[in-house]
């Protein structure tokens, strides 16, 4: 019944062939350089050929291979345009679809998890999948009460395939490094592997989605479909139409892109504050742009299989350090990073150097509004990737505590999507509203004091009545 792994040896062979192909192209590149081509031109050609092979293989497989591909695809905007252009369409396809599992397998899973009379639960059920992802595929249907629903069916053997693929990919993570300048691939694969058990648990996913659906039920900007039914390997949620963010990126108007970018930023920072959960899979396939009753654009959010549980919201350290970086308080930022474990005791760094390293990351937070572009993303990636740059040397010496790993990846991934959109966003506005510590405490206290007399007047009026 297990259609996902096909034959484990076949999957392993496909993945194992990747580094061999990379090595072959390196030899080809050396020949080109001997023949007179510059190192820069040859490097870009190698990067392009490597990326084409990687995403071709990842697109043919589900499991961890595709999960890794989706995580990597949001950083496409960091690549040089002449390299990224030829396979951008392949990345978009990877974000939205994967080869479907046979209808007989879908029916078998539904019969096992919903009962032999599973068809009685639906007024209609479309055998052709509406979407396919790394561990499951989605079918459109009409539930027994008449609601349009999305039925997510987990691939049999998904867990084994996820772990097998990610273990295989981790063995040659170093070879994949040049694909995304400035990004360490190995921790990304390790973190994806650590999250496998959570993503396979549709009970946890249903719990996280229900929490978001309840909190955002009357929200004017964000829509989260509610959970209709959940059992092992099957998750039924309300159906949501709308324009996939990948289509907005490719064909949307600038107004749509700006609105999508603003709402994505708002959801990223408001979610943990409102639900205690961080949606941790922000690739374009998980978002839709919807039209409201009055014609306004709203953001639809899907797939809560990967979340970071933050009961107190985002750590105040993030907001405090961002605020102090903006204000140029190098020593205070350095002391805080040391205290939180970002700087190891054995490492001695110049506070000003740390500030210089962080400043480009928070550039969008300084301006009233900031336009995210692929060019900006490429310049930041190139800056960190250049072994001669202080930023590269500093980046290798900083330490990211485990509790911040997922937050860091989600933030970088979201910035990657904003750059793909080319969106102009008022990020500072969202940070001031939702990020603890970003607004100085004395400013908040002044605001409370300003509101105080009015509140006291209300209390007195109530007492007199």
Task: Decide: residue 4, CB within 10 A, 0-12 exposed, 13-18 middle, 19+ buried.
Answer: buried
- Using CA atoms, how far residue 448 sits from 273, 444, 459, in Å, is 20, 6, 16
3-state helix, strand, coil in the chain (%, to 5): 60, 10, 25
pTM score: 0.76
Q: Is 401 helix (H, G, I), strand (E, B) or coil?
A: coil
The CA distance from 458 to 16, in Å, is 71
Average pLDDT over residues 422-428: 96
State pLDDT tens for residues 360-373: 678 898 899 999 99
Strands (DSSP E) along 208-340, which ranges? Answer: 222-223, 227-231, 234-238, 243-244, 277-279, 287-291, 297-301, 307-309
Digit-coded pLDDT (tens) for 14-52:
545 554 443 343 333 333 334 444 444 434 554 556 556
Whether residue 320 has pLDDT greater than 50: yes
Tell me the percentage of the chain whose pLDDT exceeds 70: 64
- Please give the Cα distance from 407 to 419 (Å, whole number): 18
- pLDDT on residue 228: 98
Question: Is the predicted pLDDT of residue 323 greater than 70, yes or no?
Answer: yes
Residue 166 and residue 147: Cα distance in Å, rounded? 37
The per-residue pLDDT for 143 is: 98
| 386 has pLDDT over 90 | no
pLDDT at res. 6:
47
Regarding predicted confidence, which is higher, 323 or 97?
323
What pLDDT was estimated at residue 404?
84
pLDDT for 170 equals 67
How far apart CA 226 and CA 236 sit, in angstroms, is 9
As a whole number, mean pLDDT of residues 154-162 equals 78
Instruction: Say how far apart CA 389 and CA 395 lie, in whole Å.
Output: 10
Query: What whole-number distance in Å separates Cα of residue 302 and Cα of residue 279?
Result: 9
Q: What's residue 98's pLDDT?
A: 55
pLDDT tens, position by position, 257-305: 999 999 999 999 999 999 999 999 888 889 999 987 777 899 999 999 9
Q: Which residues on adjacent β-strands are paired with residue 124?
A: 142
Sequence-ordered list of residues with C-beta below 8 angstroms from that of 64, at least 6 positions apart, any chain? 134, 161, 162, 163, 164, 165, 166, 169, 192, 193, 196
pLDDT digits (tens, 9 = 90+) for 167-193: 666 665 665 555 555 556 676 677 667
């Amino acid at each position: 019944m297990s259609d996902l792994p096909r034959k484990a040896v076949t999957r392993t062979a496909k993945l194992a062939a990747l580094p061999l192909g990379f090595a072959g192209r390196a030899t080809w590149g050396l020949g080109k350089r001997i023949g007179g081509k510059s190192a820069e031109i040859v490097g870009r050609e190698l990067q392009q050929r490597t990326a084409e092979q990687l995403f071709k293989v990842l697109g043919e497989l589900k499991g961890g291979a595709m999960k890794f591909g989706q995580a990597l695809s949001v950083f496409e905007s960091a690549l040089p345009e002449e390299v990224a252009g030829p396979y951008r369409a392949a990345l978009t396809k990877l974000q939205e679809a994967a080869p479907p599992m046979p209808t007989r397998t879908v029916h078998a899973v539904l019969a096992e998890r919903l009962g032999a009379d599973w068809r009685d639960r639906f007024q209609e059920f479309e055998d052709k999948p509406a979407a396919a992802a790394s561990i499951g595929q989605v079918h459109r249907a009409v539930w027994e009460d008449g609601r349009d629903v999305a039925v997510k069916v987990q691939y049999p053997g998904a867990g084994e395939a996820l772990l097998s693929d990610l273990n295989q990919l981790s063995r040659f993570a170093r070879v994949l490094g040049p694909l995304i300048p400035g990004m360490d691939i190995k921790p990304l694969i390790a973190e994806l592997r650590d999250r496998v058990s959570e993503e396979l648990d549709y009970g946890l996913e249903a719990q996280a989605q229900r929490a978001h659906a309840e909190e955002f039920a009357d929200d004017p900007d964000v829509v989260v479909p509610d959970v209709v039914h959940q059992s092992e390997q099957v998750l039924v949620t309300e159906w949501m139409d709308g324009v996939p963010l990948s289509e907005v990126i490719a064909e949307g108007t600038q107004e749509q892109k700006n609105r999508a970018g603003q709402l994505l930023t708002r959801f990223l920072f408001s979610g943990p504050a409102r639900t205690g959960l961080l949606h941790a899979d922000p690739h374009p396939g998980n978002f839709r742009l919807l039209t409201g009753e009055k014609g306004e654009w709203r953001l639809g959010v899907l797939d809560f299989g990967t979340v970071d549980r933050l009961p107190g919201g985002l750590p105040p350290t993030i907001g405090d350090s961002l605020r102090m970086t903006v204000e140029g308080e190098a020593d205070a930022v350095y002391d805080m990073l040391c205290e939180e474990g970002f700087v190891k005791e054995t490492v001695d760094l110049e506070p000003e150097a740390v500030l210089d390293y962080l400043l480009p990351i928070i550039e969008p937070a300084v301006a009233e509004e900031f336009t995210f572009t692929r060019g900006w993303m490429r310049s930041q990636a190139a800056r960190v990737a250049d072994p001669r740059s202080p930023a590269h040397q500093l980046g290798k010496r900083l330490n990211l505590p485990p509790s911040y790993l997922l937050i860091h990846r989600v933030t970088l991934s979201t910035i990657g999507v904003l750059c793909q959109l080319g969106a102009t966003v008022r990020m500072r506005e969202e940070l001031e509203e939702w990020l603890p510590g970003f607004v100085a405490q004395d400013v908040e206290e002044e605001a409370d004091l300003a509101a105080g007399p009015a509140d006291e007047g209300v209390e007195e009026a109530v007492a007199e009545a």
